[in-house]
Amino acid sequence: MQKVIFKDLGAIDYKEAWDYQQSLLNELVAIKRANRTLEADDPNRQKQKHYLLFCEHKPVYTLGKSGSLDHLLLSEQQLSEQEIDFYKINRGGDITFHGKGQIVGYPIFDLDCFFTDVHKYVRYLEEAVIRTVAHYGLKGIRKEGFTGVWLDKTEDRPFRKLCAIGVHLSRWVTMHGFAFNINTELNYFNNIVPCGINDIDKKVTSLQAELGKPIDIDEVKDLLKKHFKDLFGFVFDEVEN
């Protein structure tokens, strides 16, 4: 059974977290390369590592490699005046927002140790969130043609997106991940075309907005950790040796 090192990075600058993810990905790729030249019973083989990072960012918009800059509705001056950062990054997907009250999850997994299927991987990220929101009496759904976790349309409300997903893989090692709106200030999404979806029938929401009260974010983190462990079939190794 694989072991995953969990780290809650707390509030961290986006670029700092991005650089840290890249360093961990490089570490995992280096282990793979070194092990490839060794026999299975060679004592010099290293046990592969995996990481699950949770964090929160100060306000920042990130644009995926397939996204359009037109989906950012603020100028550089307006970004500066509102103290919002902006980065073009190497994940899939379009533009999204990260900020206070959001759980941003970065799994750094070597999928060679689990399964080599990127679509299954994304479905597992969605499923962890779907199982988590079920604890709060909400039915998270997948919407055909879109990634992430949604709430279904009702008579008086459109489809609402609770969680955005965008990933990057190198030699089957993952980085980036998901942004799950818990107590997130949703007005920030008015400055972008979220995930490139310009449709009045599709909006962004949060657990707080849906339930009408602030949510204990630490409780949500614990639920997410459990569902990740159950879905991927690993155990947590909280302390890195």
Catalytic residue positions?
195
68 vs 93, 154, 189, 208, 212, CA distance in Å?
10, 30, 16, 29, 33
CA distance linking residue 108 with residue 234, whole number of Å: 13
SS (H, E, C) 63-99: ECCCCCHHHECCCHHHHHHCCCEEEECCCCCCEEEEC
- Residues 8, 9, 11, 16, Cα dihedral to 10°: -150
CA geometry: angle 209, 212, 214, nearest 5 deg: 85
Paired with 51 in beta bridges are: 5, 108
CA distance linking residue 225 with residue 230, whole number of Å: 9
| Backbone φ and ψ of 79, nearest 5° | -60, -45
Q: Are 229 and 128 in contact (CB under 8 A)?
A: no
- Residues 108, 110, 116, 121, Cα dihedral to 10°: -20
